[in-house]
Homo-oligomer: A and B are copies of this chain.
């Protein structure tokens, strides 16, 4: 580590300015870099061998077990560490709780061709997602249920948006993630023997009556517009989440969770019956 006396204290430093520019989606997409803020987030990135380009550290702000562990892991990784003042770290960090470390990482590959379905797949497809926070919550749920993969179909946010990383608590690195057009995603599912189960408010069958115990993908539409016509396809099985109140839809990450945990429940039953 650089001694604190050598810490960068000027927000005008070129490396600091370059990191601040990564708050902008276009800059992230042009450079292939993004920001990881937070101890657990960084630990999970390192655990998946995500490439750390460099990291900014304000040693006096590294407090807490997760942040300390991620600093240790960063040092072992050999990534260049740049000591900065608290003021400079605050410029680079985002969110309400900074833990003294912000890493600049190379965004992992998200090619659908590289995605493995694995045995007995449980996949999530989310179309035209707009809000990074919703993607993060979906990754976290996918991690919790042991999902095989998440496919972002025609996303309207960059998937490695720093807020998506943060909302995922780093699970965006541990759950396989791919980007594709909606029609490629559907072809991929069919080609891998995965039944697409699409959540639609107008579907006839309630999800609890559907067979979610097999090789399936839960397919969810955007917050604003629902699913596009790509999913009006005889190969797609529509289900509905019964709604008993004033509203006719759920938050997209909540809908994903309801269907994924039901799939998980049916798999447990199937396993018990078969085993």
Contacts and interface: CB of A to CB of B under 8 A. Distances in A.
Interface of A: 40, 44, 47, 97, 133, 137, 140-146, 167, 169-171, 174-175, 208, 224, 241, 243-247, 249-251, 253-254, 257-258, 261-262, 265, 268
A249 B208 CA distance: 24
Q: How many copies of this kind of chain does the complex include?
A: 2
A28 B146 CA distance: 43
A244 B208 contact: no
7 contacts: A47-B246, A141-B251, A145-B245, A170-B247, A208-B268, A257-B258, A261-B261
Nearest to A253: B254
User: Which of A144, A257, A261 has the most chain B CB within a 10 Å cutoff?
Assistant: A144
Contacts of A245: 142-146, 171, 174-175
A261 B243 CA distance: 11
Q: Which 5 A-B pairs have the closest CB atoms?
A: A143-B245, A146-B244, A174-B246, A137-B251, A254-B257
Contact of A247 (B97, B169, B224, B247): B169
